[in-house]
């Protein structure tokens, strides 16, 4: 496990290959996708992308990959061409038909339009990724790990948390209620990962609680975690 620090960001920006790929003429056709705009606008997001996906863009064997809640950008298109890649996504930011159109371009289906708790993987994967989903968007991190880790040889997570209180007013979509969600702090994130402390390290979990300096304007912190399926 590692925390995204200024040192990690500065090291990545010496070779900002994600931005270079997103600025190629071929990639410009995907500029309408939200994730692509976020990556272009936010250097720390590109540094995290490099940590989570970077090796999949290098020469090597074709791998089976399930990307949970990853959204779509031109780099997703490249992953879908070069790997046995599936995107499990509810299309929160972009219309589903836009991604289906990409499937036609590539010549194979890769888009699974579903919320993860309503879906059961149909096979095992070399890698399952959840990037920028837990626990800031979805607080069910421990449930996700229990359900999906058995289907992965390796699981890669980028986990967002705040060590200063941050709340969000939200509206339930299935009832007439306004709810206030308290974002996870490092202590809550560490608690969700406690079952896997043997892989991660107790000392590293403690880092989640002590992190105070953020590379993001809104004060968020990001932890990069890799878990192996030892069953």
The pLDDT of residue 231 is: 65
pLDDT in tens, 26-64: 899 899 999 999 999 999 999 999 999 999 999 889 999
Q: In this structure, what are the phi and psi dihedrals at residue 85, rounded to the nearest 5 degrees?
A: -105, 135
The DSSP letter of residue 161 is E
pLDDT at 96: 87
Question: Residue 81 has what pLDDT?
Answer: 94
- Which is nearest to 83 in space by CA: 67, 96, 98? 67
According to the model, what pLDDT value does residue 54 have?
97
d(CA 87, CA 102) in angstroms, rounded, equals 12
Q: Catalogue all structural domains in the chain, each as residue range(s) with its CATH number.
A: 2-222 (3.40.50.150)
CB 48 within 8 A of CB 132: yes
Question: Is a pLDDT exceeding 80 seen at residue 92?
Answer: no
Q: Residue 135 has what pLDDT?
A: 96
């Amino acid at each position: 496990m590692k925390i995204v620090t200024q040192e990690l960001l500065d090291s990545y920006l010496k070779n900002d290959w994600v931005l270079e790929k997103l600025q190629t003429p071929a990639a410009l056709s995907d500029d309408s996708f939200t994730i692509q705009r976020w990556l272009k606008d936010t250097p720390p997001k590109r540094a995290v992308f490099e940590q989570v996906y970077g090796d999949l863009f290098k020469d090597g064997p074709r791998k089976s990959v399930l990307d949970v809640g990853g959204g779509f950008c031109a780099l997703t298109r490249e992953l879908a061409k070069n790997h046995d890649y599936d995107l499990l996504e509810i299309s929160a930011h972009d219309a589903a038909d836009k991604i289906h159109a990409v499937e036609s371009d590539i010549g194979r289906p890769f888009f699974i339009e579903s919320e993860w708790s309503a879906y059961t993987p149909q096979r095992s994967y070399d890698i399952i990724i959840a990037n920028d989903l837990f626990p800031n968007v979805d607080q069910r991190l421990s449930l996700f790990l229990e359900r999906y880790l058995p289907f992965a040889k390796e699981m890669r997570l980028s986990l967002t948390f705040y060590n200063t209180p941050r709340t969000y007013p939200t509206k339930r979509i299935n009832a007439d209620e306004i709810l206030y969600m308290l974002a996870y702090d490092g202590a809550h994130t560490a608690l969700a990962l406690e079952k896997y402390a043997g892989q991660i390290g107790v000392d590293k979990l403690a880092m989640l609680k002590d992190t105070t300096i953020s590379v993001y304007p809104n004060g968020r912190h990001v932890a990069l975690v890799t878990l192996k399926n030892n069953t």
